[in-house]
Structure 1
Amino acid sequence: MGFGAHSRIHTAKILQLCEDLPICIEIVDTEEKIRAFLPTLERMVQRGL
Structure 2
Amino acid sequence: MAWFSERDAEGNTVEGRIGEAQCPVCGYSMLAKYDEGGELLEIIGSCPACKGEL
TM-score, L = length of structure 1: 0.29
Task: Tell me which protein shows more helix as a share of its residues.
Answer: 1
Larger Rg belongs to: 1
Q: Which has the higher contact order (CA 8 A, sep 6+)?
A: 1
Task: Tell me which protein shows more strand as a share of its residues.
Answer: 2
